[in-house]
Structures are given as C-alpha cells and as structure tokens.
Structure 1
Amino acid sequence: MKLPLIFGTLLAIGMASCLDNIDQRPQLKEEPVVSERPFKYWTWITADPKRDETSYIAEFKKYKENGLDAILINTNTDPVLLGRLAPLAKNEGLEVHAWIMAMNRPGDSIVRQHPEWYVVSRKGESAYDHRPYVGYYEFLCPSRKESRNHVLRLVEGLSKVDDVASVHLDYIRFPDVYLPIGLLPKYDLVQNGELPEYDFCYCDVCVEEFQKEYHKNPREMENPAIDMEWKQFRLNKIRNVVNEAYQIVHKNNKLLTAAVFPYPEMADHMVRQRWDKWDIDMVLPMIYNEFYNEGTDWVGFATKQGVEDLREKDTELHTGIYVPGMTPGDLTKAIEEAKENGAKGVSFFDGPAITEDQFKVIKSSKRAE
C-alpha cells in the first residue's frame, strides 16, 4: 500500500522541479518598437553664386515654413559655394544634399580640354561636337579611367563639405536612347527603335574592352539592340561609377543619393540605367507623369514598380514630382499616390517653380502626417 504513496510523492517533487526550471529559463526580451521615419519632403534648387545670403535665407525659410524637410542644391560642383549655403539652410531646419550632374558635364572647363572623354554614338559621332537632342548634353564615357576619375574627384570634393547629408548624383547614365513619349513632338522625332545617333558608347575604349571579353565587335553587329551582353556591359559601366562613388562618400560619412528614371526596367530601356542593382542609399525617381502623357495615377504605378524592385535592398525610394502645370488637386493626388505605394518621401522639381497654392498643398499634407 506504500507504493502509490511513494509514487505520488515523487510525481509531486518532479512537477515542482519542472515548475522551478520554467521560472529559471531566460525570459525572452520584447522586440524594440521601431518607429517609422516621417514622410520626407524635398526639393531641387540651383544656386547662383551672385545672390546674397539674405535672399537665400529667405528662400530656405519659406521652404521650411511650407513643409519641406530637405533641399538638393546644384552648385555646379563648387564645394566653396556649397560650404557657404549649407549652414544657412541647416540653420533654417533643412537637410542639405549636394546635387551633381555626373556623367553629363556641361560647361566643365576641364572636360572641354579632353575630347576623347566623350561618349561616341553608333553613328560614329562624339558628343564633344555632336550633342544629342540639346546643346548641354556633354556626356562622358564611364569606361575611360580619366573621365570616370574626374567625376569621382568631384563627388569626393562635395562629400567633404560640412553640413551635407549626401552627394546626389544626377545624369548618372548614358544619353537617352529613347526620349519620354511626351517630349518627342518637341524634337520632331519618331523613335520606334534604337537609332544610331542616340545609341552610345561606341568609343575605342568601350569597343576594345567589350571585344576582348566577349570576342565580338558591337560596331559590326547587325542589330546591337538585341545583344544582351553589349547592353549589360554598358549598364555595368554606370553601376561601377555609382558603386565607387558610394565607397567615397561613405568614407566621408555621407550618404549617396541619385535622381533616376521612373523605375528600373524603364530606366534600363531608356538610358542604360539599372538602379536597383546599385550600391546606393536613396533614389529619387523622376516620375514626371506629364512627360509620358500619363495621369497622376501613373505616379503610384511607377512608385510601386520601383519599391518592389528594391524590396531585397536597403535603398529608400522617394518619388520625384514635376510641379509646373500641376493643379493643387493634381499635386494632392500625386503625393497620395506616392505615399500609398510605398515611397518614403516626395521631391518637387523645382523649388522656385512651386506656386503658393502648391505650397498650401504640401503644408497641408505635412500636417496630416
């Protein structure tokens, strides 16, 4: 009769021991709550070295009072001018980004001394003296060590300026293989395929390097537009410039951002720019719906495409909006489309073009955050 009693005692002791062990197990820590960063509002501006500081302070104050958080300043890669303006903007509560025209270098006195640095079309014409579309298209070849290093030195100079959050690459691409459809009538053009005068770069350096690696000459291809290795070769050349710039600016404790075409597949097709493959912190795709004969709902479509293509990367997407001609209703809708489709912010081109009615929209949207 004692066995059941002994068994019951042992069972009770065992259960108590289990309970003790449960109490002694390390407690799982609660996951920290990560707060979402506020939706950011940016604008692009171009600096004029002749303007006085008082006028800039007034401009920066206006942006801040109307809901803007950040400005991208084009100083024509002048670090001294940037160094003068950055603290003025920062004092008004704005984040400052150094905007640089990268592979397109109009008016660059050093570049003009080196005709060999320019991209060459399939037609055999150099952008040095045969500019595609417009006179300021002075695109450099990303394969040439000298032209690439010139651009990277400019990036490095801007990245060393105090009070700057990022270096912002623009024109980090080849000339347009295809113009946005809404701009074709302006140039009286029909582009149903890749035209030789708008297909770059067929310079000696690019051709020789490609030929050495792939054992074929793009100048001799019957239809180079369908040769994926030739296309990828040029995509990689732009990517390499970006990735080198990324290392440079991060060494100087800055971020790398860029203005890009609406979404990666489209950018790939139009300007040899595959930005979802880059080492970069933020992209500001220029989703200028008017250029493509699209409505404001297209802002949401293109934003979503870009966000999805970046889902495996840490790169943020901030939607670029073209404000000239936009009604307050259109601007409201464009901002909403960007927000609803995953953008982390919106940037307006450009600051001086924003009307008082548009500022009211921006300020109202900011308050609704």
Structure 2
Amino acid sequence: MENTSGNKKQKFKFYQLGLVGLLALLAVGFFDNPMKAKTKLEAKNVTIIENEAITFKFWTWFTADETKDDAYYRQEFKKYKENGFHAVLINTGTDADLLKKVAPFATEVGLEVHAWMFTVNRPGDKIAEKHPEWYAVSRDGKSCYDQPPYVGYYKWLCPTREESRDHILSLVSGLAAVDGVASVHLDYIRYSDIFLPIGLLPKYNLEQNTELPRFDFCYCDVCLAAFEEEHHKNPKDFEHPEIDIEWKNFRLNKVKSIVDEAYEIAHENGKLLTSAVFPYPEMADHMVRQRWDKWNVDVVLPMIYHGFYNEELDWIGYATKQGVADLKGRQTELHTGLYLPDFDDKTLEKAILIAKKNGAKGVSVFDGPALKDNQLQVIKKLSKKFNP
C-alpha cells in the first residue's frame, strides 16, 4: 500500500525492518455473493476457495520481519481476524521463502493473504543494484541509481527497458507461484512523484507549481529511443515536454503494460491481481503518471489519505466516488485505503461509512501493527454490521 512520500517514509521503516520479502487464501469476499464470485473468477481461471459471502471487506497492510518468531505472527494475525478483518497484505520484500513461512499463520486463522510488493520502486534490490543502467533517469539527467529524488529509498527502475521489466515480472511470478496466496499486490506501480501532496511540500521545503525537471522521469536512452521510433520526435528537444500528450501517454502505457502482463501471470497461477494506487485516476495521472482505470486489475486500493492533501473528511467520499465512476463498465473493484494516524475512533467510523456510501466495496487501513484498541473496536463493530 503506497501513496505519498510522507507515507512512504513511514512505510520504509517497516521495509527496513522486515523487507526481506510476501502471501494466501482466495475467498469470494471480493464480490457480493458466492455464486456471483464463482462465475467471475472461474471465467478468469482463478482458483476458488469457498467462504462465507463478504459484502464489505476489511483489509490491512503488514510487513513481515524474518527476525520475528512464530508466536508474533500468530498473535498479530489472530488480532486482525478477531476484530473483523478479512484480508492481510503482507510485504516480504518479494522473498517467496519468507512468504511461504508467514502466510500459513494468516490462513490458519481464516485471513486471505495478498502478496504485497514494491514494483517499479525497488529499494534494496540486490539484483537491480548490479545494473545501474536499469534505473530511471530524470529530465535533468539524474539517475535514481545514485541520485534518487526526494528520499534515499526512491530507487525507481525504468519501466520501458526490457531487462528491468523482465526483472519486475520475474518477482511477480515468484510470488504468484506461492500456494495459498489470494493475489499479487502491486505497490509503487508508477513513476516517481511529479507533484507531492500539498500537505507534504513543507517537509521538503519545496514549491511545485509546474513539472520540475528533477522530478520528471524517465529520460533514459532506451525511453527516448523507443518514443522517437514511434513518434519521430525526441522529448529532449521539446521546449515544454510537460504538455506533450504523446510523451505523457507513452509513459502511462509503459506502466500499464507491466500491470497487464502481471495480470496474466497472476491469473495463470490461479491468483488475482490487486494494486495500491493514488486516490483517483485523473489525480494519479497528474501526480505520478498512473492511469489505473485503464489497467487489467481485479481490485484497486486507492490510498485516499485526506490529511496528506489538507482535505476534510468528506474528500474521502469524493475521491471514492470519482474512482468508482471511472471504473464503470470494468470488473475492477475499488476498496478505499485509509491512513490510521489521521483518525480517532469517531472519525475512523465516519470515514468508513463515507467510503461505503460512495461505492467502495471495502476499506484497507495502513497499517496493521499501528492499529489502536479503539480503532480495532470500530472495525469489529462495522464488520459485524456489514457482514452479518
């Protein structure tokens, strides 16, 4: 589950602690009832494991830590299940062996397990680090390999280059092959932030009133050559590359092609494909070149973190409704992502009700270990109410 650099900053702490690899149980909770779910999923050649109908689903993100003992995992996953959660998105740093170890602790208590992976942003990737040419390059010539934007863990790979794409997709294949996993969950499936959320700009002492060259990716030789072959012009020659629609769409489509191929890999292994995304498609397009309403993906979890954008609580409803509308006509489900530090128990309950009212099929909260007792009680109460 990703979103903005502030969230990424906190999430990276967990990445450092436990990013050595992700995870379990495909239930019909993605859909309204068992028969409806079975029809859709069988048509996609995705394995069905029968479960009670879940009309409104609760998810949480969790980072595995190879130094933790079995008792820790059993206690943590039991806490989620007993308080109304249906699914856990587990980050193991794409370590399939760690995923195999941790996943059963979740499935044995009845949780779905989703293998959460950092996708285009690959901090700590030992294989990628051997290939400096794989990394995205900014308009002003800085490579994410040794001059990452914003923060040190922004290690973005080029989504055009065949070798970096193949590496990313090999990681998808490794997670999709793990027994018991419900989906592969793509996080950081985009370009680096062109614009940070307005609430985070003061932390970086930045003003971003236009697309600044330092934050505009990717201008590596492979991207420029591929675009020039297709469109007979070179973005390096543009006076204002930020307003060239073909150049923007070229990059949007490079991200889409990775998602669409990951979708095929997941489905070939009997899994779904899910993804953490920016709040709604037009906003994601503008901020990070991510147009997720065009993707082949089963479930999206847009991180509608209102506090990052200096927005009121009702913005959660606006962004949820916009995303649902943009997905109309597609089979992709939307489950609203919420950022726990922005809520007390009363506002968390209100936010969940707002999301449901505006068309969300569930909510995901970041992150599991940070859940407070009063927040757990809210989830437990609403889970029982929505899924009697």
TM-score, normalised to structure 2's length? 0.86
What do residues 268-302 of structure 1 show as CA deviations (whole Å, max 9, x unaligned)?
A: 00000000000000000000111000121111100
2:161 alignment partner in structure 1:
144
Distance 2:234 2:177 in 1: 41
Q: Contact 2:307–2:342 at 8 Å: present in 1 too?
A: no
Matching of residue 238 in structure 1 with residue 255 in structure 2: yes
Aligned to 1:218: 235
Give the Cα–Cα distance (whole angstroms) in 1 for the partners of residues 231 and 180 of structure 2: 46
Name the residue aligned to 1:340: 357
Q: Deviations over 1:317-339 (max 9, x none)?
A: 00000001411111011101110
Q: Deviations over 1:194-226 (max 9, x none)?
A: 000000000000001101111111011000111
Uncovered stretches (5+) of structure 1, i.e. residues with no partner? 1-31
Q: Once the two structures are superposed, what CA deviation does each residue of 1:151-209 show, in whole Å capped at 9, x if it has no partner?
A: 00000000010110000000000000000111000000000000000000000000011
1:279 is matched with which residue: 283, 296, 307? 296
The question of 1:92 aligning with 2:109 is answered yes
The 4+ residue runs of structure 1 with deviation greater than 6 A are: none
**SS state at 2:185 partner:** strand
Aligned residue in 2 for 1:259: 276
Alignment partners' CA distance in 2, 1:146 and 1:238? 15
Higher relative contact order (CA 8 A, sep 6+): 2
Alignment partner of 1:77 is 2:94: yes
Matched, 1:128 2:145: yes
Q: Which amino acid aligns with 1:168?
A: H
Percent sequence identity over matched residues?
63
Q: Of the candidates 109, 112, 124, which is equivalent to residue 126 of structure 2?
A: 109
Aligned counterparts of 2:56 and 2:70: Cα–Cα separation in 1: 29
Distance in 2 separating the partners of 1:68 and 1:115: 41
1:227-262 Cα deviation digits (max 9, x unpaired) = 000000000000000000001110000000000000
Q: How far does residue 34 in structure 1 lie from its aligned partner after superposition?
A: 5.7
**Mean Cα displacement is larger for which, 319-328 or 192-201?**
319-328
Helix, strand or coil for the counterpart of 2:341?
coil
Shift of 1:368: 1.4
Within 2, Cα distance between the matches of 1:246 and 1:85?
24
Cα distance in 2 for residues equivalent to 1:37 and 1:357: 23
Q: CA deviation at 1:98?
A: 0.1
Name the SS of the counterpart of 1:163 in structure 2. coil
Amino acid at match of 2:93: N
Change (3 A) 1:34 1:116: closer
SS in 2 for 1:368: helix
The aligned amino acid for 2:324 is V
CA distance in 2, matches of 1:125, 1:58: 45
Structure 2 CA distance, aligned partners of 1:83 and 1:33? Answer: 30
Helix, strand or coil at the partner of 1:49 = coil
Q: 2:316, 2:169 → 1: CA distance?
A: 32
Letter in 2 for 1:330: T
**CA–CA distance in 2 between the matches of 1:74 and 1:367?**
27
Q: How does 1:1-369 map to 2 (within 5 A)?
A: 37-369=54-386
Contact 1:168 1:256 in 2 (8 A): yes
Deviation, 1:353, is 1.0
Secondary structure at 1:283 match in 2: strand
CA distance in structure 1 between the aligned counterparts of 2:165 and 2:36, rounded to whole angstroms: 40
Contact 1:86 1:162 in 2 (8 A): no
Q: 1:187 to 1:279 in 2, by over 3 A?
A: same
State the alpha-carbon separation in 1 of the partners of residues 342 and 295 from structure 2: 33
What is the SS of the residue equivalent to 1:126?
A: coil
Q: Is the 8 A contact 1:324 1:354 kept in 2?
A: no
Please tell me whether the aligned partners of residues 317 and 343 of structure 1 are also in contact (alpha carbons under 8 angstroms): yes
- In structure 2, give the amino acid aligned to 1:130: Q
The AA in structure 2 aligned to 1:93 is G
Q: Spell out, residue by residue over 1:85-119, the C-alpha distance to the aligned partner (whole angstroms, 9 max, x if none).
A: 11110011100000000000000101111000000
* Aligned counterparts of 2:182 and 2:166: Cα–Cα separation in 1: 22
Note if contact 1:41-1:347 (Cα within 8 Å) is conserved in structure 2.
Answer: yes
Matches of 2:36 and 2:251 in 1, distance apart? 40
3-state DSSP class of the match of 1:120?
A: coil
Secondary structure at the residue paired with 1:312?
coil
- 1:120-167 per-residue CA deviation (whole Å, 9 max, x = no partner) reads 000011111111001000000010000000000000000010110000
TM-score of the two chains, using structure 1 as the length reference: 0.90
Q: Say what the alpha-carbon RMSD is for the aligned residues.
A: 1.2
CA–CA distance in structure 1, aligned partners of residues 103 and 65 of structure 2: 14
The whole-number CA distance in structure 2 between the counterparts of 1:103 and 1:201 is 12
Offset of residue 37 of structure 1: 4.1
Q: Which runs of 5+ in 2 are unaligned?
A: 1-33, 38-52
Q: Encode CA deviations 1:5-60: one digit per residue, 9 max, x unaligned.
A: xxxxxxxxxxxxxxxxxxxxxxxxxxx99697420000001000010111100000
CA contact (8 A) 2:259 2:295 kept: yes
